[in-house]
Amino acid sequence: MTLQPRCEDVETAEGVALTVTGVAQVKIMTEKELLAVACEQFLGKSVQDIKNVVLQTLEGHLRSILGTLTVEQIYQDRDQFAKLVREVAAPDVGRMGIEILSFTIKDVYDKVDYLSSLGKTQTAVVQRDADIGVAEAERDAGIREAECKKEMLDVKFMADTKIADSKRAFELQKSAFSEEVNIKTAEAQLAYELQGAREQQKIRQEEIEIEVVQRKKQIAVEAQEILRTDKELIATVRCPAEAEAHRIQQIAEGEKVKQVLLAQAEAEKIRRIGEAEAAVIEAMGKAEAERMKLKAEAYQKYGDAAKMALVLEALPRIAAKISAPLTKVDEIVVLSGDNSKVTSEVNRLLAELPASVHALTGVDLSKIPLIKKATGAQV
């Protein structure tokens, strides 16, 4: 059953008369006990009578609740007002076997334009609050915009810094990677070159081995050729050459023996001549020594007479040596007008002769009587 409870000119807690219309959905409970209660209450009554009973009950609770609330509470929170009515009225109608399925406030109005005035005031307040809100919002928006710009700039700066750091790290990492790549490339290149060198060495070694094998084969062939040539030379040249060489060798050995014998004979001849000359020299030496010995004995025996003989024997040779320069003189001219003066000069020279001989030989001729007498007569 649908009911529309209505309370006209009911004063609220503030004394403002309101007219409130609600809509309620109710039904008879089907539980056995509650159904029995409903039968007891409404048996023999019509549906309209039942509606009137429930409607009056709801209107009574609605009126009582309106007296406890303000206009603002009723108007602004209709759901809470309806809930409150339903909670207060439900026990009463429940004891009659009736269940309230729903209850809502359909309309609220007054005859003194309180709600419209409230709306105008509220509208003005709302408009004011809206203007303030707009201004504050614009202010906050400006502040927020500035803050956002600042945050944006900060974020941008941080982002730029991070980008620069990232770029620097990237460049450093790139440089490190490039350096590592260059190192690896250089190592790879060096390894490649080393491997190439090893391969070239292996190839060269193989070539050398091939050359060695070829050389060995060539040597073997040359050895065979040498053997063949040797045999050919033996057959064509060596045997005649060996015979000729043997003949020449025999001739040379004979010549050698001849030269050796001639040399030995010549040496023997020279030795014998030397021995003979040595014997002659020895004999002459012995004869000279004997002569000198005999002469010495004679000198010792005869004394001054022997010495005088030696001096006299040597005087001609001394005179020859002294007068040797005079042999180149054709003539000597003595310029003097006095013949006695020339004689005196000759005598003076003769007188000085013993002194000269004594100085040369150590023999004093002045002690010899003959010379002493001659020199003395001259003096």
Tell me the pLDDT tens digit for each residue of 19-44.
888 888 888 888 888 888 888 888 88
Q: Which of 65-69, 96-100, 239-243, 359-363 has the highest mean pLDDT?
A: 96-100
Domain contains 87: yes
Burial group, residue 61, by CB count within 10 angstroms (0-12, 13-18, 19+): buried
Average pLDDT over residues 264-273: 82
pLDDT (0 to 100) of residue 268: 82
**SS3 label, residue 355:** helix
Residue of higher predicted confidence among 130 and 6: 6
Domain contains 51: yes
Task: State what percent of residues in the chain have pLDDT above 90.
Answer: 0
Interatomic CA distance for residues 182 and 175, integer angstroms: 10
pLDDT score of 59 more than 80: yes
Interatomic CA distance for residues 61 and 78, integer angstroms: 15
Domain contains 26: yes
Domain contains 288: no
Contact (CB, 8 A) for 29 and 120: no
Phi/psi at 333 (5° precision): -110, 120
Nearest to 102 by CA among 117, 76, 83, 81: 83
Beta bridge partners of 21: 6, 107
Tokens of 37: 């209660």
Q: For residue 354, what are the contacts with CB-CB under 8 A and spacing of at least 6?
A: 364, 365, 366, 371, 375
Domain contains 127: no
127-151: per-residue pLDDT in tens?
777 788 788 878 887 887 888 888 8
Q: For residue 10, what are the contacts with CB-CB under 8 A and spacing of at least 6?
A: 17, 18, 19, 20, 63, 66, 67
Interatomic CA distance for residues 219 and 225, integer angstroms: 9
Domain contains 324: no
pLDDT (0 to 100) of residue 366: 65
pLDDT (0 to 100) of residue 53: 87
Q: What is the mean pLDDT of the chain?
A: 76
pLDDT score of 379 more than 50: no
pLDDT band at 359 (very low <50, low <70, confident <90, very high): low
The domain tally of the chain equals 1
pLDDT score of 336 more than 60: no
Range of the domain at 97: 2-112
pLDDT (0 to 100) of residue 271: 82
pLDDT (0 to 100) of residue 342: 57
pLDDT (0 to 100) of residue 18: 81
CATH assignment at residue 29: 3.30.479.30
pLDDT score of 76 more than 80: no
pLDDT (0 to 100) of residue 143: 83
Average pLDDT over residues 70-80: 78
pLDDT score of 377 more than 50: no
pLDDT (0 to 100) of residue 378: 47
298-318: per-residue pLDDT in tens?
767 666 666 666 666 766 777
pLDDT band at 188 (very low <50, low <70, confident <90, very high): confident
107-130: per-residue pLDDT in tens?
887 777 776 666 666 667 767 777
Residue of higher predicted confidence among 240 and 146: 146
Domain contains 321: no
Residue of higher predicted confidence among 240 and 271: 271
